[in-house]
Amino acid sequence: MTSHLDRSDELFAEISRAGYYPEIVAAGIRDALAGEPVRAFVVHHEPTFERDEIRRHMTVLTLTPTRVIVTHTDEHPGDDLLPRPYTSTTSEAVPIARVVSVLVTRMVATHSQQLEEAVLTISWGAISRVELDPARCDDPQCEADHGYSGSITGDDFTLRLSAAADGGAAIERLLDLARQLSAATSQHQPAAR
More confident residue, 129 or 117: 117
More confident residue, 17 or 139: 17
DSSP letter for each residue of 132-145: EEE---S-TT----
Mean pLDDT, the chain, whole residue set:
87
Give the count of alpha carbons within 13 A of 141, CB side only.
0
Whether the pLDDT of residue 96 is over 90: the answer is yes
Q: Where are the beta strands (DSSP E) in the chain?
A: 40-50, 53-63, 67-76, 86-95, 101-108, 115-123, 128-134, 148-154, 157-162
pLDDT of residue 133: 77
At 73-88, the pLDDT tens digits run 998 888 888 999 899 9
**81-89 long-range CB contacts below 8 Å, 24 or more apart?**
87/21, 87/24, 89/24, 89/25, 89/27, 89/28
DSSP 96: G
Query: Per-residue confidence at 189, pLDDT binned at 50, 70, 90?
Result: low
pLDDT of residue 145: 83
Cα–Cα dist 29/14, whole Å? 13
At 21-63, the pLDDT tens digits run 999 999 999 999 999 999 999 999 987 777 777 778 899 999 9
Q: 3-state class of 31 per DSSP?
A: helix
pLDDT of residue 122: 93
Position 160, amino acid: R
| Centroid of chain to Cα 15 | 16
